[in-house]
Structure formats: C-alpha cells, structure tokens
Chain A
Amino acid sequence: MTARTWALLVMLLGVAVVVGLAGGSVPLSPLDVWRALTGNGAGDTASAIVQGLRLPRVVLGAVVGAGLAASGTALQATLRNPLAEPYLLGVSGGAAVGAVLAVVVGVSMPSLVPLAAFAGAALAVLLVLVVARASGAYADPRVLLMAGVVVGAFCNAAIMVALATAPEESVRGALWWMMGSVGDAQWSTVRSVSGYVVAGIALLAWWGRDIDVLALGEDAAASLGLDVERVTRRIYLTASLLAAATVAGAGLIGFVGLIVPAIARALGARTTRETVAASALAGAALVVGADLVARTVVRPAELPLGAVTAIIGVPFFLWRLRGAAR
C-alpha cells in the first residue's frame, strides 16, 4: 500500500472524528469543538455536549470499529474464507445471551451489562472450540465455522426463551442493546474496551507473519514449519475475544468485521500487518461516520448503529459478489 493511501486513510479518520464531534442535534463548528475540548469558553452546554456526550461516543465508535475490522481481517486469513467474520463464531450469540439475561434479571444497566456480555461471548467462543475439538479436527476452518453456527443457533434459542418470559420493558431494553449503540458510552467502559482492543490489535499485528503463512493453506503452512493447530487456535481466540470486547461496549454492530477488511485489500493492503492496520483505520472511520448518521437522520430519535452499518454493508456486499462472479 502506498504512502499516499495511508495518508488518505489517516486523514479520513481525522475528518470522521471532527465531523462526529461537530455534528448532531446541536450543530457546532469545528472551531466550537476545539474551544469545547480545550475548555476555552465555548458555552456550558456546548462544552458539556462535546466532552460529555460526543467525545466518549466518537472514541468508543473508533475503538469498536478498529477492533471489529482487525478481528475480521485476522479471522478471514486464518479461516481462509473471505466471508468469515467474528460474529460467525459464537461471539454475537454469546454476548447477546449474557446481555439479555443481565437486562432481564434487572441489574443496574450501565455497569453490569458489558461484563455479562463479555462473559457470555467468552463462554461461547470456548464452547465453539470444544464442539470443534469433539468432532476431531479443530483447526479445520470448516469445522470451526460449523461449530460457530451450532453455538449461535443455541444462543438464539436461549435469547428467545429469555425474551418470551421477560417483562415488557426489559424486552425493549434488551432489543435496543442487541441493535448496537455507542450512545451509552461512559468513560470507564470506553477505557476498558480501548485497553482490550489495543492489546488485541497489537497481538494480531505481532503474529502477522504467522497469519500470512496460515493463509496459504494448512499443508503449505505445515510445510513452512508452522504449528497449524496451535497457531489457528491462538489467532481464533485472540480475534474472537477482541470482537467480544467491542460487543461488550457497544452491542452488536454487524458487517464491520466483514466488509472493512475487503475495503483494506481493495486499497492495496497485502500482508496481514498492512491489512490489520489499514482495516483498523478504515473501520474506525466507518463506525464514527455511521454513528453520526444514526443520530442525525431521524432526529429527534436515534437509529440503532447496527442498523446503519448493515444498511451500508449490504449494498457493498452485493457489489463484491458481483465482482467475484465475474
């Protein structure tokens, strides 16, 4: 990827952040935003909006976008499947079960739901490994994906049972969580999610060369001296837990892990390290932009973030399918 493309990506993220901080129900100019951030008397309401409402949203959105995109990159290469994404492997189902149970049981919303979501996701990810192992070849991508489908179906059933037996208001809250939002961003959540995401991306970049080799194919990777089973499992766990951290912080935001790696490759990224970095930048910009759309198009209401990313993702996906069929 050329230096120019990298510069463009960085600039794109920068623009997205500025527009994300400036735009919303109360339109501000970038100058107002600057004043609000540096505390130079932009007015109490503007300051409070920028610092208390928009800044945590934008930061969380960027972090979540970067994490999901990086996770998708690693999983697509490791599973040798351009349609792979973290949600296919139990992350979304498990997190939703954890979060829905937490909401239905009625725990105080802000603090415990992310923890429950992460715990649910982690359990589901491990369950996928266990199911895959029980069927023999658990580094085989197809087996992993099938196990992911099975665990996901089980989680969906559990969610349906929980929602059917829950009081009405809980159902509303649970569904809202599942549709994804960075709107309830509190700095404590943002900090922990950021920690996980940065660590996860760093690990995936560190193992970039292993992933490059793994992407060649099981036999080719083995012939180059890679421990296929161990490395597959390691990457799978890291990428999945990275995605789980983003789900814990922001609910289910689909398609990012699927389409952003394709965008990065279309821009010229080749090695895993390049693709992880480019995906992280592009994913961050995408989610920040999608969040701005989510909170401005149907004012005064707010669209769920997961819906906006899906609306962007589906046409992109169809366009890629057309290209692939040629």
Chain B
Amino acid sequence: MVGCAGAGSVSSRRIVAAAGVVAALLGCGAPARDAGTATIAPFITVDDFGDTLRLAAPATRVVSLNPNTTELVFALGYGDRLVGRTSWDLYPAAARAVPSVGDGMQPNVEAVLGQRPELVLLYASASNRAAVQQLRAAGVATLTLRTDHVADLARIAPVIAAALGDSTRGALATDTVVAVLDSLRNLPRAIEPRRVFWHIWDAPLMTIGRGSYLSELIDIAGAENVFDDIAAPSPQVSLEEVARRDPYAILAGPNSAATIRAHPGWQAVRAVREGRVFVVDTTLVGRPGVRMGEAARHLRALILGDSAR
C-alpha cells in the first residue's frame, strides 16, 4: 500500500503525488472485484412474480424449491452452493446429497430457513406466494421463476447464473440444448404428422394440452399432440374421446403402459389394438431442463421410428 503523502524535491514530489493518486485510485475507493469474474455486483433483477431481487454479492448458500432449477444449478457448475432441495429433486445424481427441505409447492418455510440460505429459488405458482412473502419478511432473497415452457430454460439460465456469480455460464449451459432443439425443428416435417396421445394419469384420465412443454416437445419432435386444441397444461379427458380422436400411438410411462395394454377398456383405442403403446423415458422427459434436447430426440425416435441428427 502506497501512502498518499510524499516528501522531497518538487519534481520528485510530483512523481510521488502522481504515483499516490494512481495508487489511491487503484487501492482505495474502487469497487471490490472477485478475481476472474465478469459480473459486477450488486445484482438486481425483477422475477416472474414481479418482485425485485437485490443481491449485494453472489449468493453462496442457495435453496432450490423446483426440480428444474436444481438441475440447472448443477448444470451451471454451482452445485456446491446448494444447501437445500425439494424431496422430488433427484437429478442429477449429485443432487441427492443435498439435504431435502420438503415440498416445493407450499413449502415448509421453517425448514427452508433452517438451512440459512442467502437465496431461494421458487416455482412461479400462486400457491407459493405466501411462502415468498414469508421468506422475504425473514430477510431472505427470493427468485421466483416460471419453468413451464421450452423457451423458459434459455430465459432463466443467465438470470440464475448471474445471481450466483457469472451470467455467461447460463448461455454455456443452454446453448447446446437450444441448438439441438432448433435442428430438430428444422428437419423436414411430414404433411400429416403422426398424432400421439400422452397418458399422464389414470382416474381421472389426464393428458397434456398445448400449455405443457411436453406438447411443445412433441411438436419439435415432428409429431402432433392429439389434444393440442386444449389450452390447459394437463386437462382431464374421457377415454371415449381418446378413442374418437384415434391417435397413431400412445405414449406412457412404463407402469402405465402395462396397465393400458392389459385394460379391456383401452382396446377401444385403435393404437392399443394395433400394439402401438410406446414407453417414454420418464427420467428424461420429466422436466423442461437441460436434457430437453435428448428428450426431444428420444421422442422423435420413439414416434417416427428413425434416429434424427
């Protein structure tokens, strides 16, 4: 540290003074910087609930209450900063080592606070508004993000990356995904794309509408969701209606596929009679996360029967 005062002859005094000024500019008063980062704190943004997030420094203790953001935080290389996840967050495998704080919807605020987080990532659903208010009242920063659509991934990745220190990591994590999806979109589409029914749940029988990212993925994969006329993400439908719409194939998880093949009522659907009940890899398609590219490829192979580049 160079002192700010000098002594000696006039010319040397000038040099020392100039050196002092330079040193002062370098040493005292310039904003602190983290070595080797490209971000300037404080980080300010407005999240999907309209709340303002203000971080003086990148968060080092993060709780993620959404399987999508948990996976994303690991993909961004910040997995070591996670101090809490929901009981449903099982990807990647390293996430299981992070302590669980319970449910992601209407979360247990006490359990979250017990992990002393600096930042909490929540899913933007109305049932989480109370938790967001309680966390903010307790002085914890929150970031509430919508993670429903394919495009959300590329949108939120840089925001989370910036909150954790380096916004450029966001693009790094998502560029390949976006590239794969775009390449699939640009593949030649059949005039009459194959129509599929995606079985989500029995009793009540539920499927995906065009409000779901799965419907988007089907579209990207070159097929068509037989219920994409319904706007809701997961509408309830009747089996007879499925039979009426006569999809080319049924997509279902492994247990559901077995039930569908065995259930006599499902024989009313031609796709079941002709043996086209395809099993989807639910671990792959379960979230609109960093594996969406692979998920779309998997769907394309399943439905169209050829591998796509």
Instruction: Give A contacts to B, CB under 8 Å.
Output: 24-26, 44-45, 48-49, 52-54, 56, 109-110, 168-169, 172-173, 176-177, 181, 183-187, 295, 299-302
The 7 closest A-B pairs by CB, nearest first: A300-B241, A48-B268, A25-B240, A302-B238, A25-B241, A300-B237, A49-B268
> CB distance A24 to B240 under 8 Å?
yes
Residues of B within 8 A of A109 (CB): 202-203
A243 to B230, CA, bound (A): 38
Contact between A169 and B201 (Cβ–Cβ < 8 Å)?
A: yes
* Distance A185 CA – B265 CA, assembled complex (angstroms): 9
Residue-wise, chain B 180-210 has the 8 Å CB interface mask toward A (1 for contact) of 0000000000000000000001111100000
Q: Is the CB of B244 within 8 A of A26?
A: yes
With A109-B203, A184-B203 as known contacts, state yes or no: A301 contacts B236, CB within 8 Å: yes
Interface size on B, residues (CB 8 A): 28
The 18 listed contacts between A and B (C-beta, < 8 Å) are A26-B240, A45-B243, A48-B269, A52-B267, A53-B239, A53-B240, A56-B265, A109-B202, A109-B203, A169-B201, A173-B201, A173-B203, A176-B203, A181-B203, A185-B265, A295-B240, A301-B235, A302-B236
A54 vs B268: C-alpha distance when bound (angstroms): 10
Which A residues lie within 8 Å of B230 (CB)?
300
Contact with A along B226-270 (1 / 0, CB 8 A): 010010000111111101101000000000000100011111111
Q: Is the CB of A186 within 8 A of B268?
A: no
CB of A291 to closest CB in B, whole Å: 11
User: Complex formed: what's the CA distance from A176 to B238 in Å?
Assistant: 13
The residue from B238, B259, B268 contacting A301, defined by CB atoms under 8 A apart: B238
Q: Is the CB of B268 within 8 A of A299?
A: no
CB distance from A146 to the nearest CB of B (A): 34
User: Which B residues lie within 8 Å of A169 (CB)?
Assistant: 201
Answer whether residue B105 sits at the interface, using C-beta atoms and an 8 A cutoff: yes
CB-CB under 8 A from B259, the residues of chain A are: 110
Q: In the complex, which of the residues B240, B263, B269 has the most CB atoms of chain A within 10 Å of its own CB atom? A: B240
Residues of A within 8 A of B237 (CB): 300-302
CA distance A173 to B270 in the complex (A): 26
Nearest CB in chain B: distance from A57 CB, A: 9
A53 CA to B259 CA, complexed, in Å = 15
Known: A53-B239, A53-B240. 6 other contacts (CB 8 A): A26-B240, A49-B240, A172-B204, A181-B203, A187-B264, A300-B230
B264 CB contacts on chain A under 8 angstroms: 52, 186-187
Residues from chain B with Cβ under 8 Å of A173 in the complex = 201-204
With a CB–CB cut-off of 8 A, which chain A residues contact B205? 302
Once the chains are docked, how many angstroms separate the CA of A110 from the CA of B258?
13
Tell me, yes or no, whether B273 is within 8 Å of chain A by CB: yes
- B264 and chain A: residue at smallest CB distance: A52
Quick check: B204 and A302 within 8 Å, CB to CB?
Answer: yes
Q: Nearest CB to that of B246 among chain A residues? A: A45
